[in-house]
Structure 1
Amino acid sequence: MPAQLTNVLVTVGVVAVFLAAVFAVSVRRDRHDLIDVAWGVGFALVAVTTFVLSAGHGDAPTRVLLTSLTVVWGVRLAVHIGLRNRGRPEDRRYVEIRSRARGNPDRHLARVVYLPQGAVMLLVSLPVQFGQYGPGAPGWLLALGGAVWLVGFTVETVGDLQLRRFAADPANRGRVLDSGLWRYTRHPNYFGDAAVWWGLYLLACGTWPGAATLPAPVVMTFVLARGTGKPLTERHLSRSRPGYADYVRRTSGFVPLPPRRG
């Protein structure tokens, strides 16, 4: 059995056990937004698991770079979401899903949230898994992938920090953040997320199996821009922020661009 296939099978088991543990803790707490914190941690677990399994099979600099960049991104995101959720009510998305469920609401959440999230996590992490096997990418491709990752990580981190500071000021209650990075895109955090995974994909392109994982960053970008990321956030903000419609008219929805006039 090829080493890459063995790696995928092992990471399937790791993700399944991890999410089962998160689900058990969430049921005991009667609160399920811990799954949002688990998103970043899960990717970090996959990267570290692959690093251990790929020892002796792949290029050391590529393995170290893919693992460390994934762990840094995943841990930062988990810490950010954990701090954001601390002391707040459960995320309205999970409250609504459970309120509409027929039968056991926790089992319903497992089907519509935990299982899809695990599947997406495994698919999106394929560049991190396949990229750690084989001869590795040439130096110029490692530099390009690292640069794209750094741009995404910086935009995401700065955008989250600006939003946290804005939300912490009581004077901003009901207002729309339209300064800093938020002046150029309505979702710098989602754009940054997508760029991070395009950077990791480039790092994996030193081999044909790694290059064949192109669907991974495409799926991540679609989820952020058209799936559960941007559309759900904007639907809520359009109802709760009076000035949001005007903000939408003048500000790019995803890729940072100069604001539109008029």
Structure 2
Amino acid sequence: MSVALGRDSLGLGPEWTRRWTVTWRTAGDEVSCTVRDLAHTPLADGTPMRWFSWRRAQRHRPSLQFLVSTGRHHGAESLEEARLLLVLDFAGGLVDVLSQPLRLRFDTATDRRGHIPDFLAVTRTGIWLIDVRPRALIAPKDLEAFAATAEVALACGWHYTVVAGWRDHVAAAIDVFSSQRRPLSDPLGLRPVLVAAAREGGTFGELVDATPFPPLARAQLLHLLWHRRLGTDLNRPFGNRSTVIDPAGWA
């Protein structure tokens, strides 16, 4: 979503990159620098600025999400953040991710504020700062903080985005794929059969039913979809009638 509406109230005068500061935590200590020097800082080696705590009657749901891409658990402060971590894991190219990576101190037209982005994701195509907030809960002050974070990312040569929601069927499909994301053996040799069948064209249900062991083939096919060895159209709800293709055959 666009954060342009929050930019007008930011204090982006001359030398703003020397006045705005960033603090991160590493080896138990907090370290600070100006935005001007941030691009040369190995933030991914740090630890979260906030701890993930649980208590009765809290309105959000913290959790730890395991990512195949990193081989580690990563903290999330809500179900929406946990869903984003799952999507990052599925998208491919993820090298590392740090929850609550830094505290930004920035100037506005009236005061000085702070903001902690939700994630810093290091990918093979660049670094992303990411905030997660359901669209209905985004207030004007949030837009201001998001716009400030976007300016910092731009100054560092990074990317920035706000995840304000998902298409329901996309989140549901990735959740189904993720059930078979961990290492999975193939003693019956079903994967080559499924890949060959996908080259000929067919739906998820047709590919599974064409094998001698449909229940086992279903798990193998989901594994292939998660690891993007085979593909399907996520613009539509996923199910037995979804067409499955071999991307290599379409190159």
Q: So what's the TM-score if we normalise by structure 1?
A: 0.24
Q: Which has the higher contact order (CA 8 A, sep 6+)?
A: 1
Q: In terms of Rg, which structure is larger?
A: 2
Select the structure that is richer in strand.
2
Q: So what's the TM-score if we normalise by structure 2?
A: 0.25
